[in-house]
Amino acid sequence: MYRWLIRPLLFLLPAEVAHHFTAELLRWLLYIPGFRTILKKCCAPPPCRVSCLGLTFENPVGLAAGFDKNGRYVRVAEALGFGFIEVGTVTPKPQRGNSRPRLFRLVRDRALINRMGFNNHGVHAMKRHLPRTRRIIVGINIGKNKDTPNEEAWRDYLYCFEQLHELADFFVVNVSSPNTPGLRALQSAHALERILHPLQRANQQRSKPLPILVKLAPDIDPETLEALVQCCRRYDIAGIIATNTTIDRPSLQTPTHIVQAIGPGGLSGAPLHQKSVYIAQQLGGMLPSSMTLIGVGGILSGSDALDFRRAGACLVEIFTGFVYRGPVLLREITLQWCRSPKEIPPH
């Protein structure tokens, strides 16, 4: 139904408009008695519990950051049957992000290009929106405001952490978005250390420290990647999410002139998959067993998700694949994950 009816209708709308329309429609439909039960029956996958990060996930599939930037759609993700949701990226102050249009479909490639620019309503709005009681696990993706110098970035990350600590199950430090000028410069070991040191110090002073993860870009050379892993290990970071979007433009089926007209932004979807899996494979050989790897990037089938599992991931996240395939993708991944051996040998 999604492929033949719902998606064609949504794709008549501009990508960002379709996104907000769908999320808001589902949010309001949940107020209708019985709709949640119908949605669960139609969409929710069977239980496939996964334990990692000191948490138990109902299934290994999460809704990636970007779908819910302000914590308004946690109940939607819960009703659809996701094992967890990563909300954000949230910044201390509200910001509009980049000018529109800033989200584009490459339908032939089953891909998206976005240059959203951390558009969100700010940390205090998220604090109001996030439900305090819920069944779904919630990770909060935190970032810095565009006008905050990199030298002061740690203050933004720390502020978000302190304000939202009581509402999160885990945190994700986003230093890998290509759409905030200079942000990826924080992906050096020295710059990352300046963020993780005060963040982990504040975390350990809490009565209940939470897992902190770092989200990395796919556009990282092996030497830098190894240095970042060592930095994360030094500060007892719980895990790494691999990966964010790419600024590369691999061989695409979409005509070159169309891609060039779209301009800069992060590419996600099927063309990203191979690159993200490669980074996950590198990380799988670097991370100790105490650190969790979460795979994200170009997952449009159950077998795509298993590529990350072979690399060592215990969880995966989807976004672009969800846009193109709908809720059936969540069920497909979960069923294949449950049926596959616990330890999948590498290729």
Q: What is the CA radius of gyration of the chain?
A: 19
The CB density around residue 139, as the number of other CB atoms within 10 Å, is 27
Q: Is 177 a catalytic residue?
A: yes
The answer to whether 207 and 270 have CB atoms below 8 angstroms apart is no
Q: Give the list of residues 6+ apart from residue 195 with CB closer than 8 angstroms, or none.
A: 153, 154, 157, 173, 175, 186
The answer to whether 265 and 114 have CB atoms below 8 angstroms apart is yes
| Candidate list 176, 177, 268, 276, residue with the active-site label | 177
d(CA 250, CA 78): 34
Active site amino acids: 177
